[in-house]
Every structure is written in structure tokens, then in C-alpha cells.
Structure 1
């Protein structure tokens, strides 16, 4: 069964009193999620706005990704009530290197 959707993502960056702030917005058509991230420049460092943008954007996208993963894990738990009792959080995605080495 083919499944194709388009999700729209927007990333907003702005500076406020020496702090770069980012907001990442994901619109799935039925849900809108928003992730946030900040970057603070050490006063001893050179002022390179691109670095603040990169850090704040990465942190906002990471926050958004964490939220999306949490939603997916809750959805998985809701689909399989018997599996929910086996572990606190279902394993999703690729195994970590520790899991692959038996650690």
C-alpha cells in the first residue's frame, strides 16, 4: 500500500541580547510541532553569527526530533498493549553500537 505525504518544516533564527534563538516548526498537515534551541557566545570568543545560528538551529531540530520520536513511541505503545508491559520504552530505530556488541 503506497503512502506519500509532504511535511513542511520551517526554521526561524533570531538574536536577542547576545543569544541566538531558533524555533523549528514541523507541519504534518494534521499536527504542528515546535522545537526550540539557544546558543550563547562566550564573551572571549570572536563574534561569528553563523556559528550561533548553526548551534541554535541544531538544538531546535534535535528538540523537534525528540518530540517526534516520543510521539511515535507512544503510538507504538498504543498499537500493542501486550508489548507495553515488556519494557518501559519500546526500542525504535537502529541499534546503538553497544547493543550491536552485546553491551
Structure 2
């Protein structure tokens, strides 16, 4: 059975005084998820906004990924299947 779908992701970045904030919004059509992340320029480092964007966006995407995995685990448990030990591939889906 083939299943194809498209999800839309928007990344919002803002930088102020060496601190970058990122918000990632995912719309699956059936649900919406948000991940957040921040980055701060270390004292003494040259302020390069692009690097702050990369760190903040990466952390926001990681947060979003964690939220998606938690939702998937909850959905599987709601259907009567318990989580497998973390030493194996979760629920048969490859990492």
C-alpha cells in the first residue's frame, strides 16, 4: 500500500543582541506542531547571525522532532500497543 502526503513547515527566526530565537511550525493537515530553539553568541565571539540562525533552527527542529515522536508513541499506545525497549527500532520504523 503506497501512501504519499505533504507536510508544510515554516521556520521563523529573530535575532537581537547576539541572541537568536527560532520557532518551527509544522502543519500536517490533520494537526499542527511547534518546536522552539535559541542560540546565544558567546562573550568574546564575533556575532555572525547566520551561525545563530543555524543553531537556533537546528534546536527548534530537534524540539519539533521530539514532539512528533512523543505524539507517535502516544498514538501507538492508544491503539493498544506498548512501546518497545529503546534498544530496538521503535515500532518497526527505521531510524
TM bucket normalised to smaller = 0.7 to 0.9
Residue 18 of structure 1: how far off its partner (Å): 2.6
Cα distance in 2 between the residues matched to 1:38 and 1:47: 15
Contact 2:35-2:64 within 8 A present in 1 as well:
yes
Runs of 5+ unmatched residues, structure 2: none
Paired residues, number:
89
TM-score (norm 2): 0.84
Residue 2 of structure 1: how far off its partner (Å): 2.0
TM-score (norm 1): 0.78
Q: Which runs of 4+ in 1 moved over 2 A?
A: none
Matches within 5 A, 1:57-76: 57-76=57-76
Q: In angstroms, what is the RMSD of aligned CA positions?
A: 1.6
User: Per the alignment, in what secondary structure is the counterpart of residue 59 of structure 1?
Assistant: helix
Q: Which residue of 1 aligns with 2:10?
A: 10
Runs of 5+ unmatched residues, structure 1: 96-103
User: Per the alignment, in what secondary structure is the counterpart of residue 78 of structure 2?
Assistant: helix
Spell out, residue by residue over 1:66-100, the C-alpha distance to the aligned partner (whole angstroms, 9 max, x if none).
000000011111122xx43xxxx4341558xxxxx
Spell out, residue by residue over 1:36-92, the C-alpha distance to the aligned partner (whole angstroms, 9 max, x if none).
000011121011111100000000000000000000011111122xx43xxxx4341
